[in-house]
A and B are shown apart, each in its own frame.
Chain A
Amino acid sequence: MGADVDSGSHDHGKKGPGVKKQKKVAAKVDMTPMVDLGFLLITFFIFTTTMSSPKAFKLNVPDDTAKDEEQTEAKASGAFTILLSKDNHVYYYEGQLLPDGSNFKSTNYKELRKVILDKKGRTPEKDLVVIIKPNETSNYKNVVDVLDEMTIAEIKRYAMVDISDSESTLINITEGSAPAKP
C-alpha cells in the first residue's frame, strides 16, 4: 500500500516467554490534512500566478521638427481619414473632406475593419495613407485599437495627426443631432 510503511507484519511470530509485547504503532498516516494543505497552496499559486504576460506593441512616431512634406505629398485619392470620438464613435472619410461634409461617414469599431479593408482593396498600395485623428474626448483604448487595426489590415503607411477645427465641429454637429450607434 503505497507509502504506508508496513512494519508490524513480521511481529506475529512466536516470542519466547518474558519477551515483552511490543506496542503496535499504527503505521498508517492520515494524509487528509496534508492533502488539504497541498490544495490550499495550489489554489494560492493559481490565483497569484500571471499566465498571460503582457505584450509589447511597437510604436514609432515621426519627428515633428522634420518637414512634414510627406503629408502633403499623399495623394488625395489614397488618403483615408479616421476620426475618433467619445463613447467609441468612429467617423471616416476618403480623400479630402468635402465642404458640405457629404463624404463624412459614421461607423463603429466592428465595421471599421471592413471599411479599411474595402478601401485597401480599391487603392494602389503606394497611394494608401491612413490618417488617424483622435479628438479630445477619445480614449487611449480607441487609439490603440485603431493602431492595432493598422497592423491587422497590414497598412504600411499611417499617421496620427491632430484633429482640425472643421472636423471637430462636424463631429459635434453629428453627435448633437443624431448620435451614431456605438
Chain B
Amino acid sequence: MPKVQIQKKSTWVDMTAFVDVSFLILSFFMLATKFKPPELVNIQNPKSVSSENVAEKDVFKVSFDKEGRCFISFSSDDEAKERIFNMLDVLNTQKGISLTKEEKTRFVSFSIGGIGVPFTQLKSLLALTDDEFKVFKQPGIPIKDTSNNQLTDWLNALLTGSGGRKPANVMLNGDNAAAYPEFKNILAAFKKNGVFSFKLITAMESVPAGTPLYKKQQGETTK
C-alpha cells in the first residue's frame, strides 16, 4: 500500500535575522541617546529659525516659567564648578549667609536642576536631601521688585567671584507663556551687571520659504 506522505511543515521560524536587526537598532539608540538632564522646571521653549547648537561647557542659565518663577543653573563641568564656589564665597561675605563647604557642594549638585529661592531660604534649601529637593517647589528668585531684584545680586556675585570674567554661555531659558515683564526684569538684572549678550534657548523651526533669509540660505547652498 502506497503511503501518502503528508509533508510536515515546520512551524519554526528562524528569528536570528530578526534578532540581529533588533539589536542593531538597539545599539544605535543606546549610543545615540543622551539622557535629558533632570529639569525641575517644566519649560516649553518658543521656536526660532536659529540653527546653532546649544553649548554645554561653562553655562550659566537663567530659566523662567509661566508661573513667574526664576531659577539659575550651571553646567556640570569643572569651570562652572569653580565659578559656583567663587560666587558663593562672595555671597557669604556680601549677604552673610555663611555657607559651609558641605553646603557649597550641595549647591553644585542642586544647581544642575536649578536653584530658585530667595537668599533667606538658601540655607534651608541646601539642607534638603536629593529626593526632598526633587519634590520641593521652589518659590523662585525674587525679581519683580526693581529695588530687590535678587538676580542682580547673584550676577554681581558671579562676576565678582570670577574676577569679571563672564561665563562663555549666558543662556535664557524661558517658557512660551512667561509674561514679558518677567523677561524684562531679567534683562534689567543682566544689563545692570554689564552683560549684554545672551543666547535664548529655542526649539528649531524651518525657515519659511520665500523670505529673505530663506533666499540667502538657498544662495549659499547653491554656490
Most buried by B among A34, A141, A153: A141
Which of the listed residues B26, B172, B190, B213 has the most CB atoms from chain A within 10 Å of its own CB? B26
Interface 1/0 per residue, A87-127 and B, CB below 8 Å: 00000000000000000000000000100010010000000
Per-residue contact bits, chain A 27-60, to B (CB 8 Å; 1 contact, 0 not):
0100110110011011001101110111111111
**Is B112 among interface residues, defined by CB-CB distance under 8 A?**
no
Binds A, one of B14-22, B69-77, B95-103, B139-147: B14-22
Please report the C-alpha to C-alpha distance between residue A61 and residue B48 in the assembled complex, in whole angstroms: 18
Does chain B have a CB within 8 A of A143?
A: yes
A144: Cβ under 8 A from any B Cβ: yes
Interface residue? A2 (CB, 8 A):
yes
**Contact (A45, B26) CB under 8 Å given A52-B204, A56-B54:** yes
Helix, strand, loop or mixed for chain B's interface?
A: mixed
Tell me which of B28-36, B117-125, B129-137 binds A: B28-36
Contact A64:B49 (CB < 8 A) given known A42-B22, A143-B183: no
Asked whether B200 is an interface residue with its Cβ less than 8 Å from the other chain, the reply is yes
* Residues on the A chain within 8 Å of B176, using CB: 139-141
State whether the Cβ of B163 lies closer than 8 Å to any Cβ in chain A: no
Counting chain B residues whose Cβ lies within 8 A of the other chain, the interface size class is 35 or more
Of B23, B171, B191, B216, the residue contacting A64 (CB under 8 A) is B191
Interface centre among A3, A55, A134 (most CB of B within 10 A): A55
The contact of B19 among A38, A144, A154, A162, by CB within 8 Å, is A38
Assess the B208–A152 pair: CB atoms within 8 A: yes
Does A1 belong to the interface (CB within 8 Å)? yes
- A138–B46 Cα distance when bound, in Å, is 14
B contact residues around A136 at 8 Å (CB) = 179-181
- Whether the Cβ atoms of B46 and A141 lie closer than 8 Å is yes
Q: Chain A residues near B45 (CB, 8 Å)?
A: 54
Q: Mark A2-44, 1 if CB is under 8 A from B, else 0.
A: 1110000000000000000000000010011011001101100
23 contacts across the A-B interface (CB closer than 8 A)? A2-B17, A39-B22, A42-B26, A46-B29, A55-B53, A55-B202, A56-B53, A56-B55, A56-B200, A57-B50, A57-B199, A59-B172, A61-B191, A84-B180, A138-B180, A140-B64, A140-B174, A140-B175, A141-B46, A143-B180, A144-B46, A152-B207, A154-B213
Q: Which 9 A-B pairs have the closest CB atoms?
A: A45-B29, A2-B16, A31-B15, A56-B199, A141-B176, A38-B22, A140-B178, A144-B46, A57-B200
Which B residues contact A (CB, under 8 angstroms)? 12, 14-19, 22-23, 25-26, 29-30, 32-36, 45-55, 64, 169, 171-172, 174-184, 187, 190-191, 194, 196-205, 207-208, 211-214, 216
